[in-house]
Structure 1
Amino acid sequence: MSGMTHRLRTLVNTQLARRGYSLRWRPPHLISSPDQSIELGFAVLAAHLMLTTPRPFFIGIGANDGVTHDPIFPFIRDFGWRGIMVEPIPEAFARLKDNYTRYPDVTLVEAAIGKADSVSTIYSVDMSTANSMSMSLHSSFSRDVLLQARRWHPDLESKIVERQVPTISFETLLRSTKGQPVDVLKIDAEGYDLEILRTIDLVALAPQLVLVEHANIPRSGKIEMAERLTAAGYRVGLTSLDMLGYKETAYSRAQLYV
């Protein structure tokens, strides 16, 4: 969105708000009858979290450009969420910086999350072609996981390159929070999601909402992922791509059922 468009949108929203209207994005209405349960999804959980925490603080691991397929972005844009975004691919990080110039409350970290502060090999793509950014969404520490994206990009294998990227531990990343409690944790690491989750003490961190991609994780890994969440006191739900963990006490007003 251009600066002029952004200012116009802000002006229109301000004028309409004075009359009781709003053009801001709203999560979808997913109340179903007759049992009045809510279809579990990130947008619903995030919206209900804001009933008690109007501007949640988040950590987003695997940001890419911070906009494409990122469920947190609408909440940053429209509701002022604060937090940290992590992305290791240089070209994607450059795009992330461009997209987030208007969001000073979001700290950007150019790194991958690993077991220690080091340098690691990640499999990405040659960034010289028109669809490189789209293919880079699938960058992974596993070449096999990256290759699964051939269903959308038939020529992907010929574009694969190995990149050396900085890797930091989750504990190192937490220093960027400066002691700010973390309300939302998102992990989108293309097959490395469980490895990252294993390095996080969820009980100590205590985010109210956890979103972890499971699409590239084998069945045994999905089970372990769910067990780690439930052991830390979360209720668990699934979408086709992600596993959601939420604290039941935090969502008691939402009457969520899974």
Structure 2
Amino acid sequence: MRRVLLGAAVVAALGAVVLVRFWGPREPEPSPDTAAETVSESELTAAAGERVFLGHMSIGWNLLDGMQRLYADKGVPEPEVVQVEAGDSPPDLAAGQGVVVHAEIGTNGDPLGKIANFDATMRAGMAEAVDVALVKLCYTDVTAKTDVDAVFAAYRDTMDALERDFPQVRFLHTTVPLTAAPSGIKQHLKVVVRGDDNAARERYNALVREAYGGDDLFDIAAAEGTAADGTRTASLATGWADGDRQHLNHAGSAMLAARFLDVLTQTEDG
């Protein structure tokens, strides 16, 4: 009997160790920060001459931080960055002055509200002040419970109307950011109970890619899902992920900024 009890105690102790070890997510190991090697001084200079409006939330801050560091690393003067409130009149800009105007737009978890907010901001005068505009939805805006078709329909109808009414503006289209794949028992259980949020995001992203593929597509999800070694997954590569497995670390921020600059300096003619 003693041996049975001792064996049960050993098994319980080992089980507890395993549970503690694998219950929570593993800490992401960052990828090397080599994004500055992928952009040229001429590309940075060209991008700095554009007038851009960016409607965003949290990952947008990662993008802006990455842009700032790329310009600093290459020693190229960066464009002025001006934050405004969504719906405000655009700032006064000197003729020929490049600028990134940005606003925290809408409320996380309400993609239809964000799309409407972006539309209102553009129609309040921003469209007359900028050359390029984009709205970036957040990973919180598309989850397993989201009506993906309804969100995309609202986005498509809004952007089609903006492109019709403001043909002088180049509207860029974005995919929804991803989060890192589940790590640890707890996160896997959440997926079982709540559903696969990244799968819903990629359903939305597939609609965006089909409708807007080409030089005007800023494919955030593809950039985030491609690891430094080129491996592609339908989740945020852990090498780009911050500790919360949702936002971007320094290397990921710079990588995403480099991809944005690629899109910004591309035209349909070349």
TM-score (norm 2): 0.28
Q: Which has the higher contact order (CA 8 A, sep 6+)?
A: 2
Higher helix content, 1 or 2:
2
TM-score (norm 1): 0.29
Higher strand content, 1 or 2:
1
